[in-house]
Amino acid sequence: MVLAQGLGSSPYSALGIGELYPTGNATNIGMGGIGISNASPFYLNLQNPALLGSRPPYTVFEVGLVGQSKTLSQSIGNETQVQRDFGGNLGYLALAFPANSRWSMSLNLRPYTFVNYNITQANIVQLGQSVAEYNYSGRGGLNKASFATGYRLLKNVFVGAEASFIFGNITNSSDSRVIINQLGVGTQDTRVNRLSRANYSDIVWKLGAAWRPKINDTWTLNLGATYDPSTRVKGSETEIYQQTTLAGLNLGPADTLQNNSTGRTTLPQQMNFGVSIERANRLLVGVDVGFQQWGKYRTINDQLGDLVDGMTVATGLEYTPKPTSNKYADLITYRAGFQYNKLPYQVKGTQINDINGSLGLSLPVGAYYVNHVTLSLVVGQRGVLSTSQIREQYVRIALGFSLTDRWFRKPVID
């Protein structure tokens, strides 16, 4: 089972349904995350279901791992507070297989979002005579189990769709106290706790299309688009209020504010567009642009989620020296990319940006060199160093394995 363990602690994951995982596989991650228009006979495309229809009649199985090292910094007064963190998870399990020469299908399981944060604040109260301490924390995330299909409608025109079952839970907790006794002996402070656990389960859809006309005998132009309609996802929420001592002893019975109260959270409409140009599996250069209407996100209780619309611009390239060669060094694939994101998070009226660059390579292995091991590296930063924002500098590593074979072959007797 895929568990949303997260990619390390992030205060921004406290907003909405958490932080989104990369939507592509290790191959896409190494080239700026582009994948709306570009496909390969050796790797799966998890971003545009229409491109399944462009696959050769081979079965592909892929598994990917994602890890991230992160440094969080914030300026408080004249000091800069720094925290270092690391997290990792299974990135995806995916299988694609042909139905016929024009039609392919895929199954995949992958994490969708993660929530992982722990924040402490202190404020002066009662005209400076006392200090109030506030603690906020959250854990969990959502996962996706998907079935996708792609079909070659015309010679160079492809259409596809993906149905995904979203499931998982997110737990958020907060507590506060007025600090009376720093030592924790004698008179005890009273801590006020509030715990909320939300469970989600529903089906969401994605539609895709692609056009891949030949420019000449060598070059191909690729155009692609995907559309995720706005969806109201079913969920339930339990919320508990409790007063305790610092040692955790209950000062009275818990007050259940909600008990499996049902509702629907609104996931926003998303649109992605891609264009790329490629030369016969040797060189590919592309650009993707995405728009996400997170400003229309609503919680299970139908409340606005303090998010704003997001945007992504990515560019990447892929190069294989000589794909028809029998020499191993000529078959290694190299990648590079750049990505700019306007995240759906806003702090004191300023939207948070994420900028990163990536490098990657794929090493062919096995018989006929049709299987690959892919390694991708992403270095980036989100936010800036200030009293209002938290700067996150991260290094993300993705490791992918792609296995290709021809399945369901009819036996032939000479």
215-269 tens-digit pLDDT:
998 999 999 999 999 999 999 999 998 887 776 677 777 788 788 889 999 999 9
- Which band of pLDDT confidence, cut at 50, 70 and 90, is reported for residue 176? confident
Q: Are strands 19-20 and 103-125 parallel, antiparallel or unpaired?
A: antiparallel
Q: Which of 61, 58, 54, 65 is nearest to 26 (CA)?
A: 65
CB of 161 closer than 8 Å to CB of 176? no
Whole-number Å distance between alpha carbons of 194 and 135: 10
**Range picked from 140-154, 240-254, 296-310 for highest mean pLDDT:** 140-154
User: Which whole number is the average pLDDT over 162-169?
Assistant: 96
Q: Which of 44, 176, 52, 40 is nearest to 102 (CA)?
A: 52
pLDDT of residue 412: 55
Q: Would the pLDDT of 213 be above 50?
A: yes
Q: Collapsing DSSP states into helix, strand and coil, what is residue 363?
A: strand
Q: What is the CATH code for 11-121+131-179+197-235+267-405?
A: 2.40.160.60
CB of 395 closer than 8 Å to CB of 87? no
CB of 2 closer than 8 Å to CB of 110? yes
Q: Would the pLDDT of 129 be above 80?
A: no
Q: What is the mean pLDDT of the chain?
A: 89
CB of 48 closer than 8 Å to CB of 210? yes
Whole-number Å distance between alpha carbons of 126 and 87: 40
- Which sequence spans correspond to the domains of the chain? 11-121+131-179+197-235+267-405
Whole-number Å distance between alpha carbons of 44 and 96: 7
pLDDT of residue 276: 97
Residue 362 CB: number of other CB atoms within 10 A? 26
